[in-house]
Amino acid sequence: MGYRNTRDCLDALEAKGDLVRIDKSVDAELEIGAIQRRVFQAKGPALLFNNVRGCRFPMAANIYGTRERMRFIFRDTLETVERLMKLKLDPMELLKHPWRYLKAPVTAWHTLPRRVGSGPVTANETTVSSLPRLKSWPMDGGAYVTLPQVYSEDPSNPGFAGSNLGMYRVQLTGNEYEKDREVGLHYQIHRGIGHHHAEAIRRGVPLKVNVVVGGAPSMTLAAMMPLPEGLAELFFAGALGGHRIPMVRRPGGLPIPAQADFCICGHVTLGEEKPEGPFGDHLGYYSLAHGFPVLKVDKVFHRDDAVWPFTTVGRPPQEDTMFGQFVHELTAELVPSVFSGVHEVHAVDAAGVHPLLLAVGSERYVPYAAERQPQELLTNAMALLGNTQTSLSKYVLIAAREDLPYGLTCHDVPGFFRHLLERADLTRDLHFITRTTIDTLDYSGISLNQGSKLVFAAAGSRKRELGTELPSGLDLPRGFRDPQVFAPGILVLKGPKHRRKRDQQDPALERLGELFARVEGIERFPMIVVADDANFTAANWDNFLWVTFTRSDPATDIYGAGGFTHAKHWGAEKAIVIDARLKTYHAPPLEPDPEVERRVDELGAKGGPLHGII
């Protein structure tokens, strides 16, 4: 029933022919991460590196790199967990089909962790400097743990029920951290550990934290699950893992998963921060160095046969994309029970997840009206922005289910954009929230954690026919060129290099909007995007979504063809113009090291361990 530790999982993958051992010496600085990304892009197998330069511990990667491998790892329990999810949505299912839920009591039993006196993880002690030093991108500030399970408990109500298990990156080396005594703990806003940290500060006590690596695969997935506040991820790990998670009692400290490969035990002291970063992140840019809590290291444990699982992140899709897709499969049917009136959501991976959320909702407030317009949709959108991880969304594009043609879903990105752009009233349906919190990793805002959001709603009948050819007589001002139709109703063009300061709009874009307002036929292109490289941006949907939504802040970077403000409401008569250029204050995009990529190429050459894979 489920894999209890990393070795069991890797052995099963190898027996299945879905793991490759690499015995050639590889470097954990840049090279091993580049290998992992290349193998993932090739939809290749899991990897076990047995000869990591300067480190005695093997490292494993790409364990979760394909949908098929994810479902194989959790094959014993996945069906039962999916059925229990459905049972939450419709309790009558148990009465209608009781035989489908015969395993439910056993699964419920598995959610309860069990306390044990000892376990494999506490067999050995080591130091932080002896752990693998994974550096994923050239400008990273040091070595990082990239698949951590960060465990904490509520200081005012300790125990498993009030625990939090999250995947917050941990910096092992670099910057100002004292060797072997401190590591950096980066957690973003709206994370469960933040509640525990706030309570520790209120009580004037250190916050105990364990950083766990490896162990049951269900623990890794649980650390990534966007579970509701108050529902312990540890319980979900037991259900998905098919067994009660054994936790080693440690006097004076937090319990440790007995089957983990490694555990860094420590505490966060009051009011101490040190620079953490830079780090090449999942939006495709570096997150820069900022002050974050410091974890004072008390002990570092590891099991006898310890393996260090890792991944690397970067511009999507990457291995963490598979986690997102897997979580969506588990939770898609629960969306209406969490957000009343919302039927479907799609946090778009190609746009970096949080920058763009597509959604389908009901529009039933005035069913007798001659023409439907967004009303309930706005309530739906505000609910999405007020709960769980969807609250970090920057752009929320939402359409009415009543208007969707049969079969159209918000996971059909081109079809959804076309549907929305055909129906949106740009004078009415753009709703900005300014000076609010945004994702910590998003540098498009006016400061760290601060920027704006946009709800772009559409309901009712078609209001325009979308253009598919450039308007005749389009004469762009100096510095703007290469206009091209990317998709029906969407124009992309190249703009001059951005030279403004943070929290400033660009007069050149304002003038561009004024010019477009005079172009005949521009209303057939309600979305116009200005980029640094129009050809790159318009090459495919992945490029368009990444550039447009990771490089723009709605309030600062949206202009209008016929823009106006009335009673503090902003709208556009003909089209919106999105400034998606890299700004002077943006973090730099991730670029691989050419020499490292050359070494990876050699591994894929004839006779190399990755020949035929990459």
- Structure confidence by residue, pLDDT tens digits, 449-458: 999 999 999 9
The amino acid occupying position 573 is E
Can you give the pLDDT at residue 106?
62
- Confidence band of 93 (pLDDT split at 50, 70, 90): very low
Place of tokens 């009343």: 340
String of DSSP letters for 439-472: -TT-TTSSBTTEEEEEEEEE-SS---PPP-SPPT
Contact yes or no for 29/3 (Cβ under 8 A): no
The helix (run of H) or strand (run of E) holding residue 279 is strand 279-280
Can you give the pLDDT at residue 336?
81
Average pLDDT over residues 435-464: 95
pLDDT over threshold 90, residue 94 = no
- Structure confidence by residue, pLDDT tens digits, 347-387: 999 999 999 999 999 999 999 999 999 999 999 999 999 98
- Confidence band of 231 (pLDDT split at 50, 70, 90): confident
Contact yes or no for 144/308 (Cβ under 8 A): no
C-alpha 376/C-alpha 373 separation (Å) is 9
Phi, psi of 374 (to 5 degrees): -65, 120
Write down all domains in the chain, each with its CATH number in brackets: 6-73+111-310 (2.30.110.10), 74-109 (no CATH), 319-458 (3.40.1670.10)
- Structure confidence by residue, pLDDT tens digits, 463-522: 999 999 999 889 999 999 999 999 999 999 999 999 999 999 999 999 999 999 999 999
The pairing of beta strand 207-213 with beta strand 262-276? antiparallel
String of DSSP letters for 473-522: T--PPTT-EEEEEEETTEEEEE-PPP-PPTT---HHHHHHHHHHTTSTTG
- Structure confidence by residue, pLDDT tens digits, 68-86: 999 999 998 888 777 666 5
- Structure confidence by residue, pLDDT tens digits, 137-172: 999 999 999 999 999 999 999 999 989 999 999 999
- Least confident segment among 158-167, 190-199, 412-421, 452-461: 190-199
Structure tokens at 387: 């709960």
pLDDT over threshold 60, residue 88 = no
- Confidence band of 399 (pLDDT split at 50, 70, 90): very high
Which residues, including other chains, have CB under 8 Å from residue 219's CB and lie 6 or more apart?
149, 165, 212, 237, 241, 245, 257, 260
CA distances from 314 to 71, 285, 320 (A): 24, 7, 9
Can you give the pLDDT at residue 389?
83
Which residues, including other chains, have CB under 8 Å from residue 97's CB and lie 6 or more apart?
none
Per-residue b or e along 583-614, where b marks 16 or more CB atoms closer than 10 Å to that residue's CB: bebbbebbebeeebeeebeebbeeebbbeebb
- Least confident segment among 222-231, 276-285, 598-607: 222-231
Mean pLDDT, the chain, integer = 93
C-alpha 197/C-alpha 155 separation (Å) is 8
In terms of phi and psi (left: phi > 0; alpha: psi -120 to 50; beta: otherwise), the region of 90 is beta
Average pLDDT over residues 442-447: 94
Q: Is 205 exposed, middle or buried (0-12, 13-18, 19+ CB in 10 A)?
A: middle
Can you give the pLDDT at residue 388?
79
